[in-house]
Structure 1
Amino acid sequence: MDIFSTIVTILLLASLVACGVLWRRERELLARLALLPATVAPRIQYVDRPIEVVKHVDRPVEVVTYVDRPVEVVTYVDRPVEVVKHVDRPVEVVTYVEHEEPETPPGAEHLADPEALPDVPDTVPDSVVDGARFGRLTVRAASVRGEPARQNAQLRKQTVSLAVLELFDPPVLLSAVAAGRPSSRRSQIGAAQVCRSVQHRLSEAAPDLDAAWRAAVAGDPAASGLLDRLLGDVVLRLVDPLTEAARWRALGPEDVATDLTCLLTRLGDGPQREHLVFGVGAGSVTVLRTDGPAQAYDPEEGGPERSKELLPTSPGAVRWERFSTTAGEVTVACTASTTRLLSGPRFADRIAAEWLDGPPALIRFLGHLALPEPQSRGDRTAIVLWEKKAGREDG
């Protein structure tokens, strides 16, 4: 082969290589514009609203998976990202956004890590959570076993209960929290039993209680004495179920001793929400406001010894208060150990503002109660009520 033929061959080979490089770059550019089919067929679901798509960086750039998950904060990032497809623009127009994993609720790392299951009769779950919405009112309820009980394979001694009492007019939401005596190995029986029994006793007394409550709101001076008698009778009628529950298990009344706090909340939407709280023992009710918390039901009113009285041994120690709340306020009914949690700096720094902003999801609320707090390592039990702010959209 002469020199001329060699030069021509080299030029042809160089041209082929250059064409290949240019074609590859052109193909990538066209792929970005979605004008060529993907090398790996994408699974695309078209929707009639803005959605997210996941860009797989280990595959060709055009391979994406569409997922229906709205994004609010939009920023460009130079790393694996998600993109939002704008359905009102060409399909290739996307906005890059950083994908952030949902924040883990404070303390949630402890929720599923008990040391062992307690080997005793009448067991209860490690944690429970419940909730509902009634018009503008949203409620969350949870009870969480404390860290020492988990480490020592002991039962949760506290109970939470929600119920709608339809014999009141309008119906009433009953929020009940009970804390069995920590030193008793079987006091979870009393806490669970008293929350069940109080629903029936309040329903039986509903007509008279309803009338007395309305009279108290209207300013009738005789209504307070009537409420004293009616609520005292309700609490007195809780003694028999507790003592019977103990007797069936060959236990004494002190073995099932528990305190009880009940919050009655009028349902229906109005300018104010009426509440009636009563109980025996150390439970409390606090109203959170933007200008700070306010105690609506003080466990030590009348002396610190009042907060140490328990059922079934001290039914005459019943206390009660009546109060009202307005839109944007948060009502918290809880046990004494949870009161210590709410008064701690970690709650004020990490949770209080979030609660004032609106109700969390159920599992996040459960995580809030599991927040590590050195001053409150026992069981935590709380029921929280949110009154939706005026003009706020349902979430």
Structure 2
Amino acid sequence: MDETAEQTPDTPSSTDEGEATQANEVVRGTAEHIGGRPPTYPPYPSTKPSVRDGDSLAALMPDTLVDGIISGRLTARGVSVRGDAHRWEGHCRQDAMAIARIGSPDTEMLLLAVADGVSSAKRSHVASHDLVHLTAGNLDKNAENLHKALVKQNESALNGLANKIVDQTVGELRAQWRAGAGPVYDDRDYATTLQVLLVPVQEDVRVRLLISVGDGGLHVCRDGVWTDDHTPSPARLLDPKTAALPGSYDSAEIRLVTSLPGDVLLLATDGMTGPLCQEHEFARRLAEYWGRKEAPAPSDFLWQAQLRAKSYDDDRTVVCLWETEATP
């Protein structure tokens, strides 16, 4: 018999015990909630659409999507989670997201995108899914021009490029959806919102571009405090007549955002921005989770993103971006 096989493990040291206790403390269970009572719906997936229903995308759409990237000093984490009401009622997740690299090495940017399918639109899950993918491709084709205009902070050029790309994407998607819709096609069946943040990876370029159609938006956490200067007001977030693609919008809105190392940028659908705008305790808790210098592990980010609040049971999609501060 191997002599080492007979040896018994050393008695754990106090350091080992402390590490074990610390490990036990970070075990994640049911998502936390704010307020005195938890929300009505259970906080886990229940039923889903069936493949036999004839909508394979709805039937196969994951309940939860987790993604992320590290690019130099930039770290992104993203989560898209089916809302408690959709889980209970057996509807698919209507939100979508994308985290991607676009552009050449000299003009590379991180693309963060979220789309929120309008609940009353029966094909909105198709729209949000298709929209983020095709928009990413069209932004990549124009990445060099976008990057050049961003460096110069040329808002006129950026506005023209953004609207050209969104209009082109809508036209391509309409043709695609019409081809698969049979004799009847209606824009209202495919209604969805879109929020895109373009972030140059070069450290000396501090400006970011936000492209928006509809609700949701961008928040910035600086020194543990959220600001929403770059996102619609709470009143607008609750407006059921929000702009939506492909047919219920006039133009895409753009905003230039200058962030500092140490800021945390949060891009999200209104399933997240709603409680963030209107529930102080919710905002405080997220600042505790995400207002630190380092990004959490993907599994922790997923658990934290599911912080619950009564009456907020919509799909929830959020992408956060951290930038490590330079070492002195």
- Give the TM-score normalised by the residue count of structure 1: 0.69
Shift of 1:324: 1.5
Q: Within 5 A, what are the aligned runs for 1:371-390?
A: 371-390=307-326
Which secondary structure state, in structure 2, belongs to the residue aligned with residue 331 of structure 1? strand
The answer for unaligned runs of 5 or more in structure 2 is: 33-40
1:239: how far off? 1.3
Q: Is it true that 1:117 corresponds to 2:48 in the alignment?
A: yes
Q: Which has the larger radius of gyration?
A: 1
1:320-339 aligned at under 5 Å gives the runs: 320-339=254-273
Asked if 1:243 is matched to 2:174, the reply is yes
- In 2, Cα distance between the equivalents of 1:378 and 1:226? 36
Secondary structure of 1:342 counterpart: helix
Aligned amino acid, residue 233 of structure 1: K
Distance 1:338 1:241 in 2: 29
Is 1:173 the equivalent of 2:173? Answer: no
State which of 266, 272, 295 in structure 1 corresponds to 2:200: 266
Deviation (angstroms), 1:346: 4.2
User: How many pairs does the alignment contain?
Assistant: 304
Secondary structure at the aligned position of 1:297 is classed as coil
Aligned twin of 2:226: 293
- In the other structure, the counterpart of 2:288 is 353
- 2:159 is paired with a residue whose SS is helix
1:278 to 1:168, Cα distance in 2 relative to 1, 3 A: farther
| Structure 1: stretches of 5+ with no match in the other structure | 1-36, 43-62, 67-81, 85-93, 217-222
Q: Among 62, 65, 69, which residue is 1:132 paired with?
A: 69
What is aligned with 1:312?
246
Tell me which amino acid in the other structure corresponds to 2:165. V
Q: CA deviation at 1:96?
A: 5.2
Q: Structure 1 residues 264, 369: CA separation in 2 closer, same or farther (over 3 Å shift)? A: same
After TM superposition, the structure 1 = structure 2 runs for residues 225-236 of structure 1, keeping only pairs within 5 Å, are 225-236=156-167
Contact 2:108 2:201 in 1 (8 A): yes
Inter-CA distance 102–273: structure 2 relative to 1 (3 Å threshold):
farther
Task: Describe the shift of the 1:41–1:368 C-alpha distance in structure 2 as closer, same or farther (beyond 3 A).
Answer: same
- Spell out the pairing of 1:140-289 with structure 2 (5 A cutoff): 140-167=77-104, 169-216=106-153, 223-247=154-178, 248-250=180-182, 251-270=185-204, 273-289=206-222
**Alpha-carbon distance between aligned partners in 1 of 2:159 and 2:124, rounded to the nearest angstrom:** 27
1:218-240 Cα deviation digits (max 9, x unpaired): xxxxx322222111111111212
Counterpart among 99, 106, 127 of residue 20 in structure 2: 99
Counting helix residues as a fraction of each chain, which structure ranks higher?
2
Counterpart of 2:192, as a letter, is T
Question: Partners in 2 of 1:260 and 1:318 — Cα distance?
Answer: 9
Partner of residue 64, structure 1: 9
Conserved? CA contact 2:224–2:288, under 8 Å: no
Q: SS where residue 276 of structure 1 aligns?
A: strand
* TM-score, length of structure 2 as denominator length: 0.82
Q: CA deviation at 1:279?
A: 1.7
- Equivalent position of 2:13 in the other structure: 83
- In structure 2, the residue corresponding to 1:99 is in which secondary structure? helix
Q: CA deviation at 1:352?
A: 1.4
Larger mean CA deviation between 135-144 and 369-378 belongs to 369-378
Identity rate, percent: 27
